[in-house]
Amino acid sequence: MSDLSRPPARSPVGEPEPVQVLPADAPPPGESRRPVVGRSPGQLAWRRLRRDRTAMTSGATLVAAMLLALAAPLVQKLTGIDPTDKFVDRLNSFGMPVGYAGGVSPAHWLGLEPGTGRDILLQLVYGLRTSLFIAFASALLACAVGVAVGIVAGYARGWLDSLINWFVDVTLAFPFLIFALAVIPILEDRFYTAREAPPPAFRIALIIATFGLFSWTYTARLVRGQVISLREREFVEAARAAGAGTAHILLRQLLPNIWAPILVTVSLNVPQFIAVEAALAFVNIGVTEPTPDLGRMIYSSIGYVATDPWYTLFPGLAIFLLVLAFNLFGDALRDALDPRSSR
């Protein structure tokens, strides 16, 4: 056949180019593949916490309150007013502050205390420091006792576990307020006579000890249940097979795996202690004068609710915001650490 009878060769112009199928995880054209970075459980929890607006709002409120409490000496220096200063010249003959809203003025932003003439702003800032110190110290003490008792009870078996559970049940049987009413005055009379007033630090130490020694039972039961579910896991058996001692297994193997519920328990215990510490002032076993305290301020303002409601409003609003912010942040923290929990 001659070349003239052959069909002309098809021109490559206009033919569709072959489509290249890329894998699903391939990077876009022009970009290099990024290495996959693993995240720890703490990083995942922090990522979920940052996406929660309620957690961020309540957390910001708590940070602002803590910074204000820590900056109490700075507030005192800027205003030039000591929390114990009494401005009796700005009270009328009935002991009430002169001026609008309880004596609010450029020199006294929140007014003055009726009867004493002390600056409410300085009392509130230092009272915030006292209440937060008592709450955090009590929560840490209760957490330490509860974790120590719970981890031993969960890892032990037989008579030791039964003995610890019996002791927890006995502790729960004690009425907290009745015990506080009985123990705090008895201990004060034991160390101080009727003519010698106990220092405020002694009363604060008694309150912290009472809170811590009678609020550890829930943490102990929670930790015990967590340890029981972990003590037969493979990593614990591997540690035993490697010759690890009991202390190593408890502190290095089990304790790091139960920090999440412990942290949530502490965050929820703090607002409870703030509210209970304020309630103790109403039965006269709270913080005493001249130490500023939010609960004592509310107790002192009872007689002036009708004539000067602002004196009750400021410490009451501070306690309300603190307790609400701690509870909201504790709930959000629990959801962030345990994504399977239902809202």
Q: d(Cα 285, Cα 78) in Å, to the nearest integer?
A: 33
Q: What is the pLDDT of residue 326?
A: 93
Q: pLDDT tens, 94-123? A: 888 888 878 888 888 898 999 888 999 999
pTM flag (> 0.75): yes
Mean pLDDT, the chain, whole residue set: 83
Q: pLDDT tens, 186-241? A: 888 787 776 777 788 888 998 999 888 888 998 999 999 999 988 888 888 888 88
Q: d(Cα 230, Cα 252) in Å, to the nearest integer?
A: 13
Q: d(Cα 15, Cα 13) in Å, to the nearest integer?
A: 6
Collapsing DSSP states into helix, strand and coil, what is residue 243?
coil
C-alpha pair distances (Å), 165 with each of 150, 192, 254, 300: 9, 37, 20, 42
pLDDT greater than 90 at residue 65? yes
Domains, the chain, ordered by start: 42-337 (1.10.3720.10)
Q: Which helix (H) or strand (E) holds 174?
A: none
Of 35 and 132, the one with more pLDDT: 132
Nearest Cα neighbor of 204 from 291, 80, 311, 86 is 291
C-alpha pair distances (Å), 139 with each of 166, 212, 309: 23, 7, 32
Collapsing DSSP states into helix, strand and coil, what is residue 120?
helix
pLDDT greater than 90 at residue 130? yes
Q: What is the pLDDT of residue 343?
A: 47
Cα 36–Cα 41–Cα 44 angle in degrees, nearest 5: 65
Q: What is the pLDDT of residue 341?
A: 55
Q: What is the pLDDT of residue 300?
A: 86
Token pair of 254 as six digits: 């089990």
Q: What are phi and psi of 91, to 5 degrees?
A: -110, 150
Q: d(Cα 228, Cα 151) in Å, to the nearest integer?
A: 9
The fraction of the chain above a pLDDT of 70, given in percent, is: 86
Of 342 and 119, the one with more pLDDT: 119
pLDDT greater than 70 at residue 35? no
